[in-house]
């Protein structure tokens, strides 16, 4: 059974005078789904987020978040949607607990609910021992954790995360990605904007690739690889011998060859060519390894924008 659509954009458009920032985009995120939005600066991601949150008015089109129009019902959207930017603002003179209590009161929770939720959520985000500490003393990573707890205070149906790991160290990043997966387990619809493609691939169910204000591509990483990387058949070869790249390009069905280092090549093929490659290369080269390569979002992203630059 299909999950409920919790975030929906239909022909959503935003113009600033003669500049089109977002151009008739369609986007859906279901309950319990994590969707990543990617693209270079100026591609329309942040403007889309602002329209979904009711913080800027669409020029045309329509958005619904948790069943409510952000433009006409901004308070209803704010009650049901949590937003976490790359830098979270808190009342630094208050403790972590007091900041969350304030959020709980704004959400209409009772005092008992607030106390129960704070204890539960501070443990969940790994800050239980710092509940009484003033937020002014928190590191950026601790602030991001507290920001996630603030979102969870409302038991949101929607979480919109804009570069949430931008300032985190590798260890904190991995812990935070685990918390994002926890939102999915709660049934929350998550929209994640990030420039860290490996992180997006590790947590997202689907990806929307923005370019010049439009959703240029949308789907799973495997589906995007199929569209961008020539059929999705990507093979890694470990090959010893002179002239390997030229020999690979001469084999029918090989579309592209990239060198990944000494004696290691990645090739895009029209179909599964492992047997043909082994036969063609055996007389001249020492074949040390051959295997399918998992589609990489970084490769998809890089190849797509390379092709767009060449087309331009």
| Sequential pLDDT tens for the chain (312 residues) | 457 999 999 999 999 988 999 999 999 999 999 999 999 999 999 999 999 999 999 999 999 999 999 999 998 998 889 999 888 889 999 999 999 999 999 888 889 999 989 999 999 999 999 989 999 999 888 999 999 999 999 888 999 999 998 888 888 889 999 999 999 999 999 999 999 999 999 999 999 999 999 999 999 988 888 788 765 578 889 999 888 989 999 999 888 888 888 889 988 887 888 899 999 998 889 999 998 877 788 888 988 998 888 887
Class of the 230-294 domain? alpha beta
Q: Quote the tokens at residue 76.
A: 């209803």
For the chain, how far is it from start to end, CA to CA, in angstroms? 43
CA dihedral (124, 29, 23, 202) positive or negative: positive
Q: Quote the tokens at residue 72.
A: 């006409």
> How far, in Å, are 169, 225, 246 from residue 80 at the CA level?
30, 34, 57
Residue span(s) of the chain under CATH 3.30.70.100 come to 230-294
Q: Regarding beta strands 254-261 and 206-211, do their DSSP bridges make them parallel or antiparallel, or are they unpaired?
A: unpaired
Please report how many Cα atoms fall inside a 13 Å half-sphere around the Cα of residue 64, on the Cβ side.
11
- Cα–Cα nearest to 8, from 29, 36, 22, 38: 29
Model-wide pTM > 0.85:
no
Q: How much is the pLDDT for 1? A: 45
Residues 6+ apart with CB under 8 A from 252: 276
**Crossing angle, helix 170-185 and helix 140-153, to 10 degrees?**
10
Residue span(s) of the chain under CATH 3.40.50.300 come to 5-224
Cα gap 151→219, rounded to integer Å? 27
Per CATH, the number for 5-224 is 3.40.50.300
Alpha helices in the chain (DSSP H): 45-52, 74-80, 96-106, 111-124, 140-153, 170-185, 197-203, 221-228, 244-249, 274-281, 297-311
Cα gap 61→78, rounded to integer Å? 20
Alpha helices in 15-84 (DSSP H): 45-52, 74-80
- Cα–Cα nearest to 88, from 152, 130, 146, 153: 146
Cα gap 281→185, rounded to integer Å? 48
Cα gap 215→261, rounded to integer Å? 34
Cα gap 191→175, rounded to integer Å? 18
């Amino acid at each position: 059974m299909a999950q409920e659509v919790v975030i929906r954009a239909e022909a959503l458009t935003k113009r600033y005078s003669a500049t089109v920032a977002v151009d008739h985009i369609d986007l859906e995120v279901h309950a319990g789904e994590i969707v990543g939005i990617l693209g270079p600066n100026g591609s329309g991601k942040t403007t889309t987020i602002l329209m979904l949150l009711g913080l800027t008015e669409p020029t045309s089109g329509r958005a619904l978040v948790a069943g409510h129009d952000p433009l006409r019902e901004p308070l209803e959207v704010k009650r049901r949607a949590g937003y976490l930017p790359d830098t979270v603002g808190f009342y630094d003179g208050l403790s972590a607990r007091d900041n969350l209590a304030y959020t709980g009161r704004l959400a209409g929770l009772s005092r008992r609910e607030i106390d129960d939720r704070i204890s539960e959520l501070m443990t969940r985000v790994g800050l239980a021992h710092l509940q009484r500490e003033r937020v002014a003393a928190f590191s950026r990573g601790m602030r991001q954790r507290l920001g996630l707890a603030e979102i969870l205070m409302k038991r949101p149906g929607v979480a919109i995360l804009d570069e949430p790991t931008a300032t985190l160290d590798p260890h904190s990043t991995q812990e935070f990605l685990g918390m994002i997966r926890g939102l999915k387990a709660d049934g929350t619809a998550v929209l994640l904007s990030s420039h860290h493609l490996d992180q997006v691939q590790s947590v997202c169910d689907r990806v929307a690739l923005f370019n010049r204000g439009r959703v240029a591509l949308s789907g799973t990483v495997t589906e995007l690889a199929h569209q961008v990387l020539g059929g999705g058949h990507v093979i890694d070869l470990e090959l010893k011998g002179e002239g390997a790249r030229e020999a690979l390009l001469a084999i029918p069905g090989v579309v592209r060859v990239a060198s990944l280092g000494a004696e290691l090549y990645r090739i895009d093929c029209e179909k599964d060519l492992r047997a043909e490659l082994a036969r063609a290369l055996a007389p001249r080269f020492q074949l040390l390894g051959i295997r399918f390569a998992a589609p990489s979002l970084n490769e998809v992203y890089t190849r797509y924008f390379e092709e767009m630059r060449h087309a331009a």
